[in-house]
Amino acid sequence: MKMTDMEWRRGWHVVLGAFLGLASGPLIYQHISSIFMLEMVREFGWSRSQVSSIMGMVAVGAVTAPITGYVVDRVGAKPVIFAGTIGLAIAYMLYAILPSSIGNYRLVVALSAVSGVACSALTYTRTVNAWFDKQRGTALAIAATGVAVSGLVMPLVLRQVIDAEGWRGGYVLLSTLVWVVGLPAIFLMFARPQPERNRLQPVRPAQREPWRAMFRLPAFWLIFGAMMFVHIPAVGTLSHFVPVMVSKGFNEDQAALLLSLYSFSVLIGRLCVGYFLDRTNPHYVAFVITMSGAIGILALLAIPLPGIALAACVTMLLGVQMGAELDFLPYFVSRHMTLRIYASVYGIMTSSILLSAGIAVQTYGLLYDLNGNYTVALIVGAIFFAMGALAFLMLGRVPLATNEAIPDEGEPPPVGERALAEG
């Protein structure tokens, strides 16, 4: 039996569990937050920068992400995912029942950010990476499509729920989704013990030097910079997607339909990119896909009042880029760093992502309030996409790590890990 077939026979339940967990987890909120933004502006009379400042509290997760990653490497992913899933379900319910004030919502966003890190790609992809090697890109892509599938359906479903029950009813729906889908997914994912040959053991005190040495590696800083540059325009555009399309002359129903098309494009992007990461030069793939985001934004800016066809094409370009992004981070971290400190590295990368997300959401809202349109924000976004694409291209000049089984105490580490330990 081929190694690729063996990996899927043993680990299919891990990919399915990660698919369901990510479909009901915190990443889906990026696809739908702009729907709630307009509802809050209408009901409370808040400006978009005020609402963006609430959403921007997701940056709190940037503080806890490295700690979460370190804990995962020490105790394993299962208890961390479980705690984060429960916390996220509670946070969504608090959105619906708390008295309406900017202070209250900032606190709830902070809670959802901290909980969301614990049940995000940081923890799910660590487990997928541990079960797959030859088919890692494909396995990560299929798991990540959970976000895309959910993002394809949820905007339209939420629109109907909000029209019937108000935006608070939308948050009740999100909380229910976590309880009904996210929690069972954990038990499915960890239904079987991991094969001994691939098992990731907790990091022991004698093995902590690589954690410090990673800061001296060019690969670490190139991945860190690329994700910062890419995530700012990706999240900024997505979180303001509905208002941007409304400002271009589309009504809210059309904007919601385009948002669903965006999510469909995310799905296509993740599946296609995962396939190509396993079969072609992954750094060229990352460069081309990231540049498509810049091209999409420039196309949206080029025509003041685009028709629905052009808007659909732009939406698909942006969606494919966003879909690939969640594949790029776990793939490049697992290939350029060592798996035994994967969660710690990913936690730090998540900090950069959440920090950039907080910056993006607030900056896009502020630039709109200052200029009365999104033109400046979108121009900056296109520039950042191009810088991120160049960082991915430069990463291709950095050697890959050797991710072999963790040695016992006293044994020399594998070649790739020895290089990491020596800096």
Domains of the chain: 9-190+210-404 (1.20.1250.20)
What pLDDT does residue 413 have? Answer: 37
d(CA 321, CA 339): 26
The token pair that represents 147 in the structure block: 């976000």
Confidence of residue 359 (pLDDT cuts 50, 70, 90): confident
How many CB atoms neighbour CB 218 within 10 A? 13
User: Which is more confidently placed, 404 or 22?
Assistant: 22
* CA 106 to chain CA mean position, Å: 21
Read off the pLDDT of residues 145-179 as tens digits, 9 standing for 90 and up: 888 788 778 888 888 898 888 888 999 999 999 99
Q: Is 375 exposed, middle or buried (0-12, 13-18, 19+ CB in 10 A)?
A: middle
The token pair that represents 64 in the structure block: 């806890």
pTM: 0.71
d(CA 382, CA 233): 7
- Average pLDDT of the residues in 355-381: 82
User: Which is more confidently placed, 202 or 255?
Assistant: 255
385 and 294 Cβ atoms separated by less than 8 Å: yes
d(CA 56, CA 119): 19
Burial letters 149-169, b for 16+ CB under 10 A, else e: bbbbebbeebbebbeeeebbe
The token pair that represents 128 in the structure block: 């997928």
Read off the pLDDT of residues 314-354 as tens digits, 9 standing for 90 and up: 888 888 888 787 788 888 988 888 777 888 888 888 787 77
d(CA 323, CA 388): 15
